[in-house]
């Protein structure tokens, strides 16, 4: 198949590109390289099967030409940060809502069959302590969550009105190699691992008892492949997670054990827009796509650490 991966030079996108190329698909990447990096595609040299196009999803022309000639789209490009969206809601809206709308519309115009895209657990907002299913009410606490929710509604509309097979995947907290640790907005695991490897202290915001459902990137790629290549599951969002929770304190302890260090922990203020508890019910994706997470948090952390510090 000829597929487009927006954000294909980013953390999750680049793993998806690798898998697609490995399975013989022809891939075009659209990335503005604001956070995506060419090195992320180093193992996949541009050639007959891989084309890399520099462009912004907010630019309708760039999107239209990236979509030309492909059969299907994985849309991963985003401003990926809850706190960034709290600081700059208009930028999140431009990229995550309007940019995604541009991608959807280019897909409609080009007659794309299926479009699988990244939504987020951030749409739920605060939930009860137990696993959250897709049927729970959604009350996002951040602009990022609102923007992702908008794209889910738009996806359902594009399916109903125009017949595009849209599949929203609600990613929980994805981690793995190539997640960029360099900013205060980076995913917590990438920050903790890079700081602990450098012998630096880590900051835990709040009391560290908040929970997250950390899922290894290879499982997220698997969910995407199933969402694209299975019979159409419909436009309802599907949770992508392990279905298990880890507190931030437990995460710090686990990482210390894997790295053989005692983490120095600095207590920081709880973050605005932060969710207290987040754990997924993955019954829907199990039954719709036969998805089963293969990586535990510990095995994923070990793989991540090995990729950064070969033994």
Q: Give buried/exposed letters for 173-207 (b at 16+ CB in 10 A, else e).
A: bbbbbbbbbeeebbbbbbbbbbbbeeeeebebbee
Just list the catalytic residues: 144
- Spatial neighbors of 150 by CB under 8 A, at least 6 apart, are 97
Q: Which C-beta is closer to ligand UD2: that of 188 or that of 217?
A: 188
Minimum distance, C-beta of residue 170 to ligand UD2, in the bound complex (Å): 7
Minimum distance, C-beta of residue 68 to ligand UD2, in the bound complex (Å): 30
Could you give the CA distance from residue 118 to residue 13 in angstroms, rounded to a whole number? 10
Pick from 305, 306, 282: which is nearest to 294 by CA? 282
Looking up tokens 């985003």 gives: 78
Minimum distance, C-beta of residue 83 to ligand UD2, in the bound complex (Å): 7
Burial of 252 (0-12, 13-18, 19+ CB in 10 A): buried
Could you give the CA distance from residue 81 to residue 69 in angstroms, rounded to a whole number? 31
Interface positions with ligand UD2 (CB under 6 A) = 80-82, 120-122, 171-173, 187-188, 191, 203-205, 210, 212, 248, 271, 274-275, 278
Residue 262 is classified by DSSP as -
Q: Which C-beta is closer to ligand UD2: that of 5 or that of 82?
A: 82
The secondary structure of 69-112 as a DSSP string is T-SEEEE------HHHHHH-HHHHIIIIIIIHHHHHHHHHHHT-
Instruction: Indicate the SS3 state at residue 267.
Output: strand
| Spatial contact of 297 and 217, defined as CB atoms under 8 Å apart | no
Q: Which C-beta is closer to ligand UD2: that of 26 or that of 258?
A: 258
Q: Which C-beta is closer to ligand UD2: that of 8 or that of 125?
A: 125
Minimum distance, C-beta of residue 193 to ligand UD2, in the bound complex (Å): 11
Could you give the CA distance from residue 108 to residue 122 in angstroms, rounded to a whole number? 27
Q: Which C-beta is closer to ligand UD2: that of 110 or that of 141?
A: 141
């Amino acid at each position: 198949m000829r597929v487009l991966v927006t954000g294909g030079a980013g953390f999750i996108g680049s793993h998806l590109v690798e898998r697609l190329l490995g399975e013989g698909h022809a891939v075009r990447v659209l990335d503005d390289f604001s956070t995506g990096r060419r090195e992320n595609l180093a193992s996949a040299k541009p050639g007959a099967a891989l084309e890399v196009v520099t462009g912004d999803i907010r630019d309708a022309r760039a999107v239209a030409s990236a979509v030309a000639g492909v059969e299907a789209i994985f849309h991963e490009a985003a401003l990926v940060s809850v706190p960034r969206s709290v600081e700059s809601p208009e930028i999140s809206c431009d990229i995550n809502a309007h940019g995604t709308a541009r991608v959807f519309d280019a897909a409609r115009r080009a007659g794309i069959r299926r479009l699988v895209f990244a939504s987020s657990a951030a749409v739920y907002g605060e939930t009860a302590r137990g696993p959250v299913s897709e049927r729970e009410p959604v009350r996002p606490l951040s602009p990022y969550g609102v923007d992702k929710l908008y794209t889910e509604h738009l996806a359902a509309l594009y399916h109903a009105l125009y017949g595009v097979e849209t599949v929203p995947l609600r990613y929980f907290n994805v981690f793995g190699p190539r997640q960029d640790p360099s900013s205060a907005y980076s995913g917590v695991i990438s920050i903790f691992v890079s700081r602990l490897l450098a012998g630096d202290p880590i900051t835990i915001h709040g009391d560290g008892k908040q929970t997250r459902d950390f899922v290894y990137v290879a499982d997220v790629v698997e969910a995407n492949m199933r969402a694209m290549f299975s019979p159409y599951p419909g436009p309802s969002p599907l949770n992508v997670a392990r279905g298990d929770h880890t507190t931030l304190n437990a995460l710090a302890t686990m990482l210390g054990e894997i790295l053989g260090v005692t983490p120095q922990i600095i207590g920081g203020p709880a973050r605005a827009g932060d969710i207290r508890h987040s754990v997924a019910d993955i019954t829907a994706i199990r039954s719709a796509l036969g998805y089963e997470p293969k990586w535990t948090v510990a095995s994923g952390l070990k793989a991540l650490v090995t990729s950064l510090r070969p033994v």
